[in-house]
Amino acid sequence: MKTGLHLTKGLRVGLLGGSFDPAHDGHAHITREALRRFGLDRVVWLVSPGNPLKAQGPAPLEQRMDRARAVMDDPRVTISDAESRLGTRYTADTIAALKSLHQGVNFVWLMGADNLRQFHRWDHWQDIMGTVPVGVLARPGDRISARTSPAARIFLHARLRQEEAHLLPLCDAPAWCFVNVPMVSQSSTAIRAQGAWRHRAGDQGAENAQK
């Protein structure tokens, strides 16, 4: 299969995209919360080749995937290089390709509240909202700014109540739900700044893809 994913019709599958440079316990924590709160069967970590919103490229893809597998060891979670396989640059294109190749799968796009705050900067972000339900998980310091963001205001009519979160995977887009969860205050940026994450010697960084 072109994506390398084995997803059967009817599954409720969360998609968590990012550079994962590096993956950390915060990513694992929101994944477990998403599985529980949104009633998901599976979550796929879409490890992107790069990020066009960042000037400097990430560590090599395989290095980041190895780290992700070490951090998130759960049979319900797949660490995927589907974006690299598909050759998609932006999230909207990735989602469209996945829906076309895995028809009948109930996809939900997952993001932290920090991403909702600047979601309107993403390429074709309104197409994303119109294509799949979106599950937003609160992160420290971003709850108020996320809920008053341009995307949240424009799609206020499509917001589910927190207690309806488990219904999200079966909703027709646009639909989104913001859930407050206990958060792990950890970030890839902080890990890199501490010098705890190094590119492998001799490896070359990957080029850009959005998340």
**171-185 pLDDT tens trace:** 999 999 999 887 665
What is the rounded distance in angstroms from the CA atom of residue 136 to the CA atom of residue 113?
6
Assign 211 a pLDDT band (cuts: 50, 70, 90).
Answer: very low
The proportion of the chain whose per-residue pLDDT surpasses 90, expressed as a percent, equals 70
Helix 25-37 and helix 61-71, axial crossing angle in degrees, nearest 10: 60
Tell me what pLDDT residue 76 has. Answer: 97
Q: The whole model's pTM is what?
A: 0.85
Number of Cβ atoms within 10 Å of the Cβ of 208: 16
Residues 6+ apart with CB under 8 A from 144: none
Q: pLDDT tens, 87-127?
A: 998 999 999 999 999 999 999 999 988 889 999 999 999 99
